[in-house]
Structure 1
Amino acid sequence: MRRIVKVVLQITCQLLWLAGLVVGLSGLYLLLNYRHNRLFFRDIYIILPAVMAIASAVVLLISGSIGCWVSVRDSTCLQGVVGIKEGMNRAFVYLLIIIFCLEATAAALAYANIGKVHSELAPFQNIFKNYNGSSQDPDSNAVDSIQEELQCCGIQNYTDWQTTTWFNHRGNLSVPQSCCNSTFHTCHGTLDQTYMLYPQGCQVKLEDAIGFILHLIIYSTAAVAVVQIIGLVSVAQLMRQQPLQGYQILERNTIN
C-alpha cells in the first residue's frame, strides 16, 4: 500500500511541474502581450492575474521538487535522528496551501478581468486615429507593430482606416503596408485588392488572445486544485503510515 501511495505522489508531483509550466507560460504570455501593446491598454491592472499566475507557477515547481524528494527518500534512520523527512512533508503541505491561495487569487482576478477586456482596450481607436505613418511616432509604430504581429488590419477590419485623418490626407485609397498579408509580396495596401489585406481587425484579435489566456488561468486553477487534493491525501497517508520516530538511547556496543 505504501509503495502505491509513493507512486501516486510521484505522479502528482510531475503533474505539479506540468501545471507550473502551463500556468507560468500563460502568465508570461499575458505579460509579454501587455509589454508589446501597452499603449492599447487603459491601465496596468490587466496584468495582475499574470503576476499571480507566475508566482503560483514558481511555488508549484518548488513544491513538485519537494514532493518528489518526499516520495523517493525513505530513510527511517534519517527521520529518527533529525526529522528532516517529517519537515519536508510539512513543507510540502504548506506549499500546497500557498499555491491554492495564489491560484484562487489569480483565478478571481482573471474572472474579474474577462468582462473588462473590451473596456481595457479603449485607447485603440484614438491611437489608430493618431496614425501618421512616421517611424518616429510612437502611436504609428505601435499600430504597425500590432498589425504585423497579430496579422490584422484596422480596429474591426480594414474599413476603419477610411475614417482616419491619415487616409484622407493621402488620397490614394490605400491602407498602411502593415495591413498586407505576408503571403502576397505584391501587396501595397491599395483598396482595389482587399483580398491581399488581413481580413480581421486588431482589437478583435487582441481581445481573443487576452480572453483565451484569462480563461486558461481559470481552468488551470481548477486542474491544479484536483492535483493538490491528491497530493495532500498522498502525503497524509505517508505520514500516517510512518510517523516521526523519537530520539533513542544508543547502546555502547552500537556505537562501537
Structure 2
Amino acid sequence: MRGYRTIKYTLFIFCYFFWVVSAVLTAVGIYAKIAKEKDVVDTLTLDPALLLIVVGSVMFLITFLGCFGALRNATCLLKTFLGILATVLLLQIAAGVVGYLFTDMVMERTERLMMKAIVRYREDQDLENAIDFIQKKFQCCGVEGYKDWSQNVYFNCSDTNPSLEACGVPFSCCIHQQNQTVLNTMCGYGMQQLEEKSAVQDVFTVGCLEKIVWWAKNNLLLVAGLTGGLLLLEVCMICLAAAQISRIKRVQRKKEDDAQRGNSERKESYWYPAFADFDDE
C-alpha cells in the first residue's frame, strides 16, 4: 500500500508542477496578446505570445489529465495521459533523428524562419524584443551577417528608402563600450554602408545562426543534459502512470474475485449437501 501511495503522489506532484507552469505560460501569453496593438504578426512561428498560448494550453490539458487521474485513481484519464505523453516522446525522438539525418535541410528551414522574423521586426513588439535579446545574448547581428537587415523595410539600404534607419542595423547589434553609461539607440545607423573591417569596430557582424550553432557545439554537454533530462522525466512519468494503472487494475480484479467468491458461497448456502440427514419430527 505504501508503494502505491508513493507512485500516486509522485506522479501527482510532477503533473501539478508542470500544470502550474503551463497555467503561468498561458496567462503570460494571453496578457501579451491582449496588450498588443491590432494588425500585428499573427502567425504561430513568428508570434511569441501566440506560441506561449498554444504551448501552455497543450501542457495544461495534458498535465490536468495526469493530476486528476492520479488523484482520483481514474484509469481512463491516466490511460489518456499516458498515451498522449508517449506520443509526444516519440515525436521528440523522431524530430531529433530527422534533424540529425537531414541537418542541411533543418538549417535551411531555420534560416528562412529567422529571415522572416527580420523582415517583420518592426511589426510585432514581442518579436522585436525577442530578436534584440538574441542579438545581445549571442553578440550577433542578422542571420548570416549584419547586412541581412537590408531585408527589412526600415533598414533597407537603398536610395529610395525614406526611413532614418536606412542602411542601418538595430541598436542590439552594437558593441557595448565599457565606459558607456547611456544607451545610444542610434549607434547602428549607416553601418551597412561600411565594410566588415570597419563595421566590426562598432557592431557585431557575425550572423546569429552561426553564433547559435557555435554555442550549441561548445555547450554540447549542457544541451545533451537538458534534452536527456527532459526525456528521462517524460519516461519516468509514463512509467509512474503505467504502474498506477497496473495497481488499480490489480485491486479491481481482487475485488471482483472476492465478490464472485462471496456470491458463490451465498449460492451454495441455498442448497443442502447431497444425502444430507434430516430429522423429520
Query: TM (normalized to structure 2)?
Result: 0.49
Say if 2:143 is the partner of 1:155.
Answer: yes
Q: 1:175 — aligned with what?
A: 168
Aligned counterparts, 1:92-241, within 5 A: 92-109=78-95, 111-113=97-99, 115=103, 116-123=105-112, 141=122, 145=128, 147-151=131-135, 152-158=140-146, 166-167=156-157, 175-178=168-171, 179-180=173-174, 185-186=183-184, 188-189=187-188, 190=191, 194-198=200-204, 200-204=206-210, 220-241=230-251
Secondary structure class of the residue paired with 1:11: helix
Indicate if the aligned counterparts of 2:65 and 2:77 stay in contact, CA closer than 8 A. no
Indicate if the aligned counterparts of 1:124 and 1:155 stay in contact, CA closer than 8 A. no
Say if 2:47 is the partner of 1:36.
Answer: yes
Residue identity opposite 1:141 in structure 2: R
Distance 1:91 1:168, change over 3 A: closer
Secondary structure class of the residue paired with 1:230: helix
Secondary structure class of the residue paired with 1:155: coil
Secondary structure class of the residue paired with 1:104: helix
Residue identity opposite 1:66 in structure 2: G
User: 1:90 & 1:113 partners in 2: Cα distance?
Assistant: 35
Distance 1:11 1:101, change over 3 A: same
User: 1:127 & 1:218 partners in 2: Cα distance?
Assistant: 31
User: 2:114 & 2:75 partners in 1: Cα distance?
Assistant: 54
Q: 1:253 — aligned with what?
A: none
Indicate if the aligned counterparts of 2:11 and 2:66 stay in contact, CA closer than 8 A. no
What are the Cα deviations for residues 227-256 of structure 1, in whole angstroms up to 9, with x where unaligned?
21133223323442463455999xxxxxxx
Q: For structure 2, which runs of at least 5 residues remain unmatched after alignment?
A: 30-41, 264-281
Indicate if the aligned counterparts of 2:174 and 2:203 stay in contact, CA closer than 8 A. yes
Residue identity opposite 2:87 in structure 1: C
Q: For structure 1, which runs of at least 5 residues remain unmatched after alignment?
A: 38-46, 71-87, 132-137, 250-256
Query: What is the identity percentage for the equivalent residue pairs of Structure 1 and Structure 2?
Result: 12
Aligned counterparts, 1:61-80, within 5 A: 61-70=64-73
User: 1:57 & 1:217 partners in 2: Cα distance?
Assistant: 21
User: 1:125 & 1:4 partners in 2: Cα distance?
Assistant: 50
Indicate if the aligned counterparts of 2:111 and 2:209 stay in contact, CA closer than 8 A. no
User: 1:35 & 1:160 partners in 2: Cα distance?
Assistant: 18
Query: TM (normalized to structure 1)?
Result: 0.53
Distance 1:188 1:227, change over 3 A: same
Q: 2:8 — aligned with what?
A: 9
User: 2:78 & 2:61 partners in 1: Cα distance?
Assistant: 14
Query: Which has the larger helix fraction?
Result: 1
Give 1:66 shift.
1.3
Q: 2:35 — aligned with what?
A: none
Residue identity opposite 1:117 in structure 2: V
Secondary structure class of the residue paired with 2:46: helix
Secondary structure class of the residue paired with 1:35: coil
> Which structure ranks higher in relative contact order (CA pairs < 8 Å, sequence separation ≥ 6)?
1
User: 1:210 & 1:22 partners in 2: Cα distance?
Assistant: 26
Secondary structure class of the residue paired with 1:34: coil
Secondary structure class of the residue paired with 1:123: helix
| Matched positions, count | 207
Indicate if the aligned counterparts of 1:96 and 1:228 stay in contact, CA closer than 8 A. yes
Give 1:139 shift.
5.1
Give 1:8 shift.
2.5
Secondary structure class of the residue paired with 2:84: helix
User: 1:106 & 1:166 partners in 2: Cα distance?
Assistant: 38
